[in-house]
Each structure stands twice: as structure tokens, then as C-alpha cells.
Amino acid sequence: MNLGNEVIIAAFTSNGIKLAAKISGHIDAKIFVPERFAEVGLQAIDSPLTEWTGRYFSEVRAMIFISACGIATRAIAPHIDSKLRDPAVIVIDERGNFVIPILSGHIGGANELARDIASFLHAVPVITTATDINNLVAVDEWAVKNNCNIENPIAIKKISSEILERHSVGVAVTHELQPAPFPVTLWLRPKNLILGVGCNRGIDEHEFEAAAKEFLDSSGASILSLKALASIDIKADEYALVSFARHHDVPFVTFKAEELRSVPGIFASSKKVLSVVGVDNVCERACMLAGGAGAVLMRSKYIYSRDITFALARIM
């Protein structure tokens, strides 16, 4: 998912607003209300509800409607895109009796958030997903909780159906590119790789994207297992790197030269790089530093071209 961390609540009646304030104190959410109710601490729904919903739908982690299910359903319907990208959507009645996740129950976390709010309100969580009501593992929810990307979400339906029938299923949790081990394999990619990069100023974003993919492919590593992109601080505004990190929904972390010099270990050394940026190696040192104490250098410095160097670390 490539959404923000914010949670917003839409409430439409006096009782609903009181309930929203109570919930907001528990989960730190912003409250939106009809303009006639707007006051300090409450933001106005200043456009038709469907339009207002569309404004926030792809920007927040969760939307909570204190309303009838029909109101929420009509508001979100034009904006639903994919279970990998849609935010959690929850409906709560204005008396706080029932908490109902209606969208992104697993990957978006709506089921988990609904249970949390219901527990806080002493309400009933109305969970309707089949795996949950049968007390079985939902593979997509497991992936999110264990910090994995889902490579082939089309397989989720088949895998979930097999789980419900108590059949064996094929799930591969690995960063390695390899042949599918099962007739139907759900690939979960743990986010445990750090891509270190050094580059000249002004490299082309498309060239960098192609180079990074070629490097990872030749390393036998899935790009979906990237946890971060790492470099030196003077590259913090390098457009190609910033664009790559944004496109792949990973943080772009940078370090000062003195921080990179302090990384213990034996690394490829370049006098030219040292004279230009103040440290003899950027890509290897950066990925190791970003990976922390548990990192190992999975692939050492690789010179893709005169303009780009890569290294890859794995967090154990």
C-alpha cells in the first residue's frame, strides 16, 4: 500500500460527533462534520460527500463513517480501486453498538482496526470475511503483519479458498527469485533488502530504474523485497533516486560522509570517490549502515555504468 498514516472520521449528527470525539481520543483521528456543525477541532465536509471522500480516499490509512452503511457505501463506491491500495473503511452506528469493516479488511487493516475500536467502545465488531469467522489464517493479513509485499495478489482468492476447505496451500516467503515450488504459489516478499547506490549528478530516472531492476534481477532478488534505498546525503535531492523510492514505496535514507566512513568492515575503495564526496565507498557503506547491526553484504559494489554503482545488503 502506498497510503498515508492518517485516520479520518466523518460524522453527521450530534450523537455521531460525540462518538467521533470519543474514538478520536483513542486512535488519534481527525473529525469531519457537516458545515453547520463545524467548530474548533472539527473540520467541515465542504463538498458533496462523494467528492469529499474522493479527495481523501487515496491519501489516508483509514476512513471511518459514523452513519448508515448505505451512506458510506455510496460515498466510497466511485473510488474503489484495488485491495492492495484502498484504505480501510469502517462504518459505526451513532450509538456505538456495531463496528463494521466494509473495505480492505485484511491488507488495509480494517478488520484489526474494527476490533480495536469495538473493544474500546465495548461494541460488537461485525467481521464478515470467511477466514476470520472460521478462525483461520488470512494470508493477506499475515503478509501485512509480517512486513511482506504480495507479488501475485491474484492467487490470494485461490489460496484462501483452499484454506477454507482445510487443504494444503502453497505460500513462498522469500526475497529470492526462483521457480514456483507449488502448482499455485502465493509469493510473499519480505521487506529485508537495502539497495545502496552511488551516482553522478543528474542521471536519467528511466536509466536508473532500468539499472536498478537489472542489478536486482542479476542478484536473484525481488524488487518487492526492498526495505529502503540508501546513499550519501549530498544525493538526498537527486531526482532519479527520489523518484525511484517514491515509485516503489520505500524510504530513501541518506548519511553524512563521516557516518559512512565509520561503518566497520572491508569495502571496495575508490580514491576518486574519496576525493569527490569525502568517503571511499558510498553504495556498500550506505546499505550496510541503513541495514543496521543485523545486516550482511549480499552483493558488493557493482559498477553499472560510469554514472551508477550499486550494492545490496540483507537484514537477517
What CATH number does the domain containing 73 carry?
Answer: 3.40.50.11220
- pLDDT more than 90, % of the chain: 78
Domain span holding position 251 = 193-315
Of 128, 158, 180, which one is at a domain's C-terminal end? 128
Q: Are residues 197 and 179 in the same domain?
A: no
Total number of domains in the chain:
3
CATH of the domain at 212: 3.30.420.180
Domain contains 139: no
Band (299; pLDDT cuts 50, 70, 90): very high
Domain contains 122: yes
Backbone angles phi, psi at 311, to 5 degrees: -150, 160
Backbone angles phi, psi at 17, to 5 degrees: -65, -40
pLDDT for res 40: 72
pLDDT for res 2: 44
Domain contains 135: no
Domain contains 179: yes
How many Cβ atoms sit within 10 Å of the Cβ of residue 143?
A: 24
Of 125 and 294, more confident: 125
Q: Are residues 77 and 99 in the same domain?
A: yes
Q: How far apart are CA 204 and CA 239, in angstroms?
A: 8
Q: Are residues 171 and 220 in the same domain?
A: no
Domain contains 141: no
pLDDT for res 1: 43
Quote the pTM value. 0.74
- pLDDT more than 70, % of the chain: 99
Band (3; pLDDT cuts 50, 70, 90): low
Q: Are residues 197 and 302 in the same domain?
A: yes
What pLDDT digit, counting tens, does each position of 7-18 carry?
A: 999 999 999 999
- Whether 132 has a pLDDT exceeding 90, the answer reads no
What pLDDT digit, counting tens, does each position of 137-189 carry?
A: 788 889 988 999 999 988 988 888 888 888 888 999 999 999 999 989 999 99
- Whether 219 has a pLDDT exceeding 90, the answer reads yes
pLDDT for res 4: 61
Lowest mean pLDDT among 14-23, 39-48, 94-103: 39-48
Torsion sign, CA atoms 83, 84, 87, 93? positive
What pLDDT digit, counting tens, does each position of 82-102 carry?
A: 888 899 999 999 999 999 999
Domain contains 134: no
Q: Taking all residues of the chain, what is their mean pLDDT, rounded to a whole number? A: 93
Q: Are residues 186 and 279 in the same domain?
A: no
- Whether 255 has a pLDDT exceeding 90, the answer reads yes
Helix 110-121 to helix 14-27 angle (10° resolution) is 110
Domain contains 44: yes
Q: What is the mean pLDDT of residues 207-228?
A: 97
DSSP character string of 22-63: HHHHHH--EEEEEGGG-BTTBEEE-S-HHHHHHHHHTT-SEE
Of 190, 221, 242, which one is at a domain's C-terminal end? 190
Q: Are residues 242 and 307 in the same domain?
A: yes
Q: Are residues 47 and 154 in the same domain?
A: no
Of 74, 101, 128, which one is at a domain's C-terminal end? 128
Band (79; pLDDT cuts 50, 70, 90): very high
Q: Are residues 59 and 79 in the same domain?
A: yes
Domain contains 138: no
Q: Are residues 66 and 19 in the same domain?
A: yes
Q: What is the mean pLDDT of residues 71-86?
A: 92
Q: Are residues 94 and 203 in the same domain?
A: no
Contact between residue 184 and residue 170 where contact means Cβ atoms under 8 Å apart: yes
Q: Are residues 202 and 98 in the same domain?
A: no
Q: Are residues 199 and 186 in the same domain?
A: no
Q: What is the mean pLDDT of residues 273-291?
A: 95
Contact between residue 240 and residue 252 where contact means Cβ atoms under 8 Å apart: no
